[in-house]
Amino acid sequence: MVDSKNNFATTPDPQAFVQIQSLSKDFDEFKAVDQVNLDIRKGELFAILGGSGCGKSTLLRMLAGLETPTSGRIIVDGDDITDWPAYDRPINMMFQSYALFPHMTVEKNIAYGLRKQGIERSEIDRRVQRMLELVQLGGFAKRKPNRLSGGEKQRVALARALIKNPKLLLLDEPLAALDKKLREQTQFELMNLQDELGITFIVVTHDQEEAMTLATRIAVMKEGQFVQTGTPAQIYEYPKNRFVANFIGTINIFDATVVELDDSGLTAKLDHSEILMKAHTDSAASTGDKVGIAVRPEKISISKQLPMGENITTAKGVVLDLAYYGNYSIYRVKTESGLMVQVSAQNRQRSSEHVVEWDDEVYLSWEQGSSIVLLE
Ligand code: ATP
């Protein structure tokens, strides 16, 4: 059975470790989270991705027990925890700000949760030591947070969240406070750590690159609902609608009208032009439908020679912009019919031998299978 609103199977996944069932949160009349359904398996690193205000933190806070749902259930490892207080849940949360205690050393920050539970000193010391090793902060035990870098603080916060052995770890924008280089490095550390511990992670982020690299699966959220759920590749290659297509990576979307349907897909005529585009589609399109034909910049070839081949779309144009990034270049090409098309191409030759330059007349081409049909 498919939930037409959220468009994914509502039949429970028998292997689901976390089950979110019709979960909603209203603030007065406003629906911050609106009937969300989700099954997450044990050991997944699941990302909830969406723009500011879409409801992702509210959803996370309901899982953590920091916000009371208006309706719906939350089940973790077979227990319905919807009405459990935060401190009884087998869940820990790492906050965006890390929320470290400034007056405590690294080891005291990490030990805090266990000390509150009244666990024996020797046991605490053993587990803190293990955590320090795990997050590679062995030499920092006696330091206070103000003498740590952003990345080190993030690792202390992670160790503090992990030490109580939660079944589920929630991370709210875990890398937001780090600069770009450190983010990339920390992303890999986080993935390794998750792999080593096998804990289920749910990460909330507005950063699509972060979600794509970290997650086993992603739910794209908009206005309190999940628009699409899938692996990073499914979401990137087969976005369900314009919102998802635009949210994940760069994409060219051309407005077109379906003129022909056949076994291999459809042909659409671009609005205000004579260009015909071919695309595979599983969607129920009919002749005359207005659709968006979407093509990722890296799927488009750019050349000075007219490309040959079956089932390809070609367009002639002029290079208006060229940005050189070393290993690849981005071209913005204006076609004869006035479309602006973005193309990215790997630089296999040395820059001095670049074949395509500013103001060059070029041909763009892409295969039928590279086009995505967007009905909405
Ligand atoms: P951001 O990335 O900016 O943190 P978000 O997706 O995490 O955004 P939420 O914090 O979940 O968004 O908020 C979702 C919506 O609910 C927002 O419009 C917000 O203003 C509203 N909201 C959140 N908390 C409350 C509250 N306590 N009372 C009223 N409205 C709230």
Q: Per residue in 147-194, pLDDT tens?
A: 998 888 988 998 999 898 899 999 998 887 777 777 787 788 888 888
Residue 287 has pLDDT above 50, yes or no: yes
The answer to whether 8 and 59 are in contact (CB under 8 A) is no
CA of 137 to the centre of ligand 1 (A): 34
Q: Does the C-beta of 52 come closer than 6 Å to ligand 1?
A: yes
Q: What is the 3-state secondary structure (H, E, C) of the chain?
A: CECCCCCCECCCCCCEEEEEEEEEEEECCEEEEEEEEEEEECCCEEEEEECCCCCHHHHHHHHHCCCCCCEEEEEECCEECCCCCHHHCCEEEECCCCCCCCCCCHHHHHHHHHHHCCCCHHHHHHHHHHHHHHCCCHHHCCCCHHHCCHHHHHHHHHHHHHCCCCCEEEEECCCCCCCHHHHHHHHHHHHHHHHHHCCEEEEEECCHHHHHHHCCEEEEEECCEEEEEECHHHHHHCCCCHHHHHHCCCCEEEEEEEEEEECCEEEEEECCCCCEEEECCCCCCCCCCEEEEEECHHHCEEECCCCCCCCEEEEEEEEEEEEECCCEEEEEEEECCCCEEEEEEECCCCHHHCCCCCCCEEEEEEEHHHCEEECC
Ligand 1 atom 20: residue of nearest CA: 53
User: Cα Rg for the chain, rounded, in angstroms?
Assistant: 25
Cα of 29 vs centre of ligand 1, distance in Å, is 13
pLDDT at 137 > cutoff 70: yes
- pLDDT confidence of residue 8: 46
- Structure confidence at residue 134 (pLDDT): 85
Query: Phi-psi region for residue 120, left (φ > 0), alpha (ψ -120 to 50) or beta?
Result: beta
Ligand 1: does its nearest atom lie under 6 Å from the Cβ of 68? no
Residue 185 pLDDT: 78
Task: Tell me, using a 6 A CB cutoff, whether residue 55 lines ligand 1.
Answer: yes
Mean pLDDT of the chain: 89
Residues 6+ apart with CB under 8 A from 110: 128, 131, 132, 156, 159, 160, 163
More confident of the two residues 335 and 189 = 335
Whole-number pLDDT of residue 84: 97
- Above 60 in pLDDT, residue 6? no
Sheet hosting strand 200-205, strand order edge to edge: 91-94, 168-172, 200-205, 45-50, 217-222, 225-230
pLDDT value of residue 292: 93
Q: Tell me: pLDDT of 219 over 60.
A: yes
Q: Which atom of ligand 1 is nearest to the CA of 67?
A: 27
- The dotted CATH code for 2-246 is 3.40.50.300
Please tell me the distance between residue 58's alpha carbon and the centre of ligand 1 in angstroms. Answer: 6
Between the CA of 55 and the centroid of ligand 1 the distance, in Å, is: 6
Residue 138 Cα, ligand 1 centroid: separation in angstroms?
Answer: 38
Residue 172 or 33, more confident: 33
Cβ atoms within 10 Å, residue 47: 27
| Ligand 1 center from residue 38 Cα (angstroms) | 20
User: What values do phi and psi take at 112, rounded to 5?
Assistant: -50, -50
The CATH number of domain 250-374, selected from 3.90.420.10, 2.40.50.140, 3.40.50.1100, 3.10.20.30 = 2.40.50.140
Domain ranges of the chain: 2-246, 250-374
Helices 150-162 and 121-134 meet at what angle, rounded to 10?
A: 130
Q: Which residue's CA is minimally distant from atom 2 of ligand 1? A: 52
Q: What is the pLDDT of residues 54-71, one digit of tens each?
A: 999 999 999 999 999 999
Question: Which residues fall within 8 angstroms of residue 233, CB to CB, at 6 or more apart?
Answer: none
Give pLDDT, residue 275: 82
